[in-house]
Structure 1
């Protein structure tokens, strides 16, 4: 019955005792051949002398070669066994241990899946992209779409797709204007490539809808009009979609430092053609023409009479529905593009230029607001000679953004002056506002300002000295701004330098507002760098405003300002400083409303993340700093937020950057601290022990069923608090089941953590450990005590935080500092540590990065190693996926106080709780 399984090959077999599988390359790719120990090719081998794995490889190679004998292939005339055609061979070769290259060097498989990372860096006016394997290996070759070769090592990678042979094309140099095009092609042609560009995050962006495009190809000698239908994606070439096999559009948002991946929604081009033809037929009938037009696929040709009627009467409607290019050709029909000229008669008030503004088109004059009204109605301006004047839409929108109507006058904000120099003659601006040239040119000369060094107990680094001069320049010109240096670059000492410049000359106090965890840090920093600044704290149950008003510097919290705004708004401060100013990112919050009621001659914001999520936060920040910069929230949303976030409008992004650039000073660690050592992050996946796994699966299944029942009976909104409780319990089981099981089940993580700590301590490293649960911190401290490892711990209820920080920084005997992620995420300097453990992950990776940067900041002399501990097969692994794949969801999912869920769909629950 098994006759069909017998081998019937009667050919003489070569009996050899030792063979090798050789990896070679030709123009078609990498292939496998069989050689003996003298590098001679052999075939028809007797299999019996080899192990099962080798026999399987030989069987497969023989089978492929036999199959090739009976097939005709123009590509594979030599009948070679190519790995890109038979990638399954790699898994067998991995176990063979007898794989070699052409030079008889042994090739080893590394038992780890590597990532491909494309690192893009600014290089003066160009961008340079470099492809790395596992972040540090530059010289490698892809032999298949999921296997790479380097230094005689073979590793598996995530499948990058059929274009793998072209992967080295990504090592390239290009101008910034081609950045989005480069990224779009990269994402469309290759899979599973990680993009790294500065500190930009990579996220899913909103759906981009492709728009129909009308191309005015030509008007021929007979004045027939040639129209062609195409596809238009904003900011990309008109034929970009057709030229490349585009799957997604990638945009770069420099303001929010994000790379956004957009799906594309295409329109039905046949329906658009049908729509245009219906309109054309209507005019054809009105003109009583027999023919008048011709169409073929996407091309429409209109005879002159029909074309004139169609364009003159339909242009307004066409511009609202279609992107149109080539309108300069309409001059043959008495329709032409024009470049308007501004005519101004302006005087200046404190924050505005005001007066009369008119627009000249050809030799005709229009009031600016009459022109805007006509254009809004018709999409063109009719001149007295009957010419329909077409004005660049971007120009019109710029006028709408900049010029405001105030009764009978036209007003221009001081803050818009940098972006209208191309519209108004410079001499007119200088005459109308004498100090404008001096102020805006002064921003370019800050580094050469002749200022006495601040009277502080420290020597400023060069970039800090520039920051100090920038702050003084703003102060002396009655301007307000945001010092947005990266975490750890010394925003506090730069601010203290400014205060040392202001005092003792000023007799009014400065109010510094901050999160409560930073109160005593600020007090210590002022005492250390300039003890002559008379400082008092206004905070706590026994606070008394009358007792602190004699101080030069008053330290308080956002909560105190919110609660005491009735009294604080009556005081005239010299300056208000907001530390961690992202606390006012929500323009409608009580804290934001309270802070904007404070009165001061000068204002300063400090934040490493001035815009965390969206441009609305930028508006809220500048509403505090410079209320006249953007006007109302509606004005900002209509003219900035929506065009940028919805359409990624490059012109408006450029304009917004011009507008805010003088008033935000942003430097990153990479830019200014060239000597800062690198930060190495690793993820340690840990298997749950059987009891832990059993408990986890029971509770996961239990909650999955219960949550569905809750939603069905109570509705989704009323179930949110229960969902959050369920997720938190699963996180604790995955991390420290002792907290849920009354110590009946032990944590696998604790064992891994303590072993790593013992090794680190033995090598004289100092360690930070972050967790989200107070009980977990207690568990870890118990383990450290058992091992006689000296340590400190800190939670939200800890009062003497600065004492603990100082002790850890200065006491070489204390090796470990354990704290909650939230407590350690803001304002602490812990540079004596160079090893960090994130014991359990948080939904938002930004919070983890901030915690890590407590150590990786100015003053750090060693390479910082950060380890994230993840329980495999648990909710933690799902969190890790969400951090990268759905980070935007969870930035809105968990509110700032982490007590409530904002938005969570049923699909999201399935993703988190399903196996």
Structure 2
């Protein structure tokens, strides 16, 4: 549809619902930028928390008389998240980078409390905050929900699991200490994320680490490079951006050598479920699919090149596990506790949602669930959009399928899951706000029963130290970090994880 036709179509309506990632143009030349809107309401506004991204820049360029931001997490990792929202709202002079850096960011990083006091003064006339504890003028809660209880389930590894974990930890720490000694910690951030990823996966189940997904064994890399250089012709006839030959050769060589890559969306290692775009960018498949407004395709989050789902290149893996997991199955400490709880809840007819960051962990969980006769459904990035609706409807209506395995990335935003009253967080996430958003999909309007949240943590492992990182981020958001803690927090957090 041409820009003129889009404008004519939108002009016939008084209310337009538009997804953030539909606004494609950073330079303000799209049809949406040629309309003078009366009011723009940006839902899930934290999606533009990075002001330098093209999505954020495109949102800033929209023209309107009134601008609103709706988000449950306006501040997640640092004060720059808030700065991006002020840029969209055009709050002068605080949407000016020089003012922000001089009067807020630098004072805050130097331990000057006036930086945070100024932020609070800026937000006071702008922000209308409501939470579940907010009360009306009569002193009554504005929202009445059943209680939500959060329990930390501490799991203790078996002797065999512990030996395996400690061996893996020692090897990882040697590599990390080498980066520290060389002063190259942040330059090797993706490799360090890979080391931490393996330790975290080991806490879920050692089989996740004993993997045949060895990138050194890939045999189709020459063909892969040729496909990159030819570019991709998508369904709309737009040719994808062809990456430079030198860049493609670097990417292929990294894959051949098994070099880790950091997902540009979630900032995690891409090792669990990687995908490569025709423009030679590596990222998590679920992260990419969640960025698109339609399941068929969208723009590359890095270069905005148009791509379709069919264009995506999956790294070839013959067998995920080196051992025959099904015929040599052995429960991990987390799996033991999970199965026991699910069996008890099943007798009561209560529904449960099991969240994990690793789809490979769900592949493993299917084995003991089938052995125990526990019927379940699955919801992650591998499920098509059409089938997703079917899965959610079946989970809501079914009397025997009481368990839903759900990816934290796929289920954290935009879903209503009030059919369940039990939440299992199998592995901690770096950003506590992501976990909270997932929980809020269950504990929300429409929930009739008390919600029980269980956070699984393996004792004396990197998971316990990740909880400390989460607590530090929460303190930072509350304004508790001062002095050198802010400037050096990234490196210090990594050092703490490898203690």
Output the TM-score relative to the length of structure 1: 0.36
2:349 aligned residue (741, 761, 764): 764
Partner of 1:665: 128
Partner of 2:122: 656
Residues 1:862 and 2:328 aligned together:
no
Partner of 1:608: 72
Deviation sequence 1:15-66 (CA, Å, 0-9, x none) = xxxxxxxxxxxxxxxxxxxxxxxxxxxxxxxxxxxxxxxxxxxxxxxxxxxx
After superposition, the CA RMSD in angstroms is: 3.1
Equivalent residues in 2 for 1:565-580 (5 A)? Answer: 565-567=28-30, 568-580=32-44
Would the alpha carbon gap of residues 774 and 811 (structure 1) be closer, same or farther in structure 2, given more than 3 Å must change? Answer: same
In structure 1, the gaps of 5 or more residues are 1-542, 892-901
1:593 aligned residue (53, 57, 72): 57
Deviation sequence 1:333-377 (CA, Å, 0-9, x none) = xxxxxxxxxxxxxxxxxxxxxxxxxxxxxxxxxxxxxxxxxxxxx
Would the alpha carbon gap of residues 654 and 581 (structure 1) be closer, same or farther in structure 2, given more than 3 Å must change? Answer: closer
Residues 677, 863 of structure 1: 8 Å contact kept: yes
2:153 aligned residue (656, 676, 684): 684
Equivalent residues in 2 for 1:793-808 (5 A)? Answer: 793-800=378-385, 801-808=388-395
Higher Rg of the two aligned structures: 1
2:432 aligned residue (845, 860, 863): 845
* d(CA) in 1 for partners of 2:410, 2:188: 29
Equivalent residues in 2 for 1:76-87 (5 A)? Answer: none
Partner of 2:85: 621
Residues 643, 652 of structure 1: 8 Å contact kept: no
Residues 1:810 and 2:279 aligned together:
no
Partner of 2:407: 820
Partner of 2:192: 723
* d(CA) in 2 for partners of 1:544, 1:751: 57
Residues 569, 598 of structure 1: 8 Å contact kept: yes
Equivalent residues in 2 for 1:24-173 (5 A)? Answer: none
Partner of 1:362: none
Residues 844, 890 of structure 1: 8 Å contact kept: no
Residues 145, 447 of structure 2: 8 Å contact kept: yes
* d(CA) in 2 for partners of 1:665, 1:912: 37
Q: How many residues align?
A: 358
Task: State the secondary structure of the residue aligned to 1:668.
Answer: coil
Task: State the secondary structure of the residue aligned to 2:150.
Answer: strand
* d(CA) in 2 for partners of 1:890, 1:574: 33
Residues 622, 629 of structure 1: 8 Å contact kept: no
Would the alpha carbon gap of residues 579 and 572 (structure 1) be closer, same or farther in structure 2, given more than 3 Å must change? Answer: same
Task: State the secondary structure of the residue aligned to 1:605.
Answer: strand
* d(CA) in 1 for partners of 2:381, 2:42: 22
Please report how far the alpha carbon of residue 872 of structure 1 lies from its aligned counterpart in structure 2 after TM superposition: 1.8
User: Would you tell me which structure has more helix in proportion to its own residues?
Assistant: 2
In structure 2, the gaps of 5 or more residues are 135-140, 211-322, 479-487
Partner of 1:788: 373
Residues 375, 401 of structure 2: 8 Å contact kept: yes
Please report how far the alpha carbon of residue 728 of structure 1 lies from its aligned counterpart in structure 2 after TM superposition: 0.4
Residues 1:873 and 2:460 aligned together:
yes
Please report how far the alpha carbon of residue 548 of structure 1 lies from its aligned counterpart in structure 2 after TM superposition: 4.8
Partner of 1:633: 97
Residues 75, 477 of structure 2: 8 Å contact kept: no
Equivalent residues in 2 for 1:523-534 (5 A)? Answer: none
Residues 355, 406 of structure 2: 8 Å contact kept: yes
Residues 644, 653 of structure 1: 8 Å contact kept: no
2:417 aligned residue (825, 830, 838): 830
Residues 430, 470 of structure 2: 8 Å contact kept: yes
* d(CA) in 2 for partners of 1:635, 1:889: 21
User: Would you tell me which structure has more strand in proportion to its own residues?
Assistant: 1
Residues 50, 84 of structure 2: 8 Å contact kept: yes
Task: State the secondary structure of the residue aligned to 2:354.
Answer: strand
Deviation sequence 1:712-738 (CA, Å, 0-9, x none) = 468323322211111101111111112
* d(CA) in 2 for partners of 1:890, 1:635: 21
Output the TM-score relative to the length of structure 2: 0.64
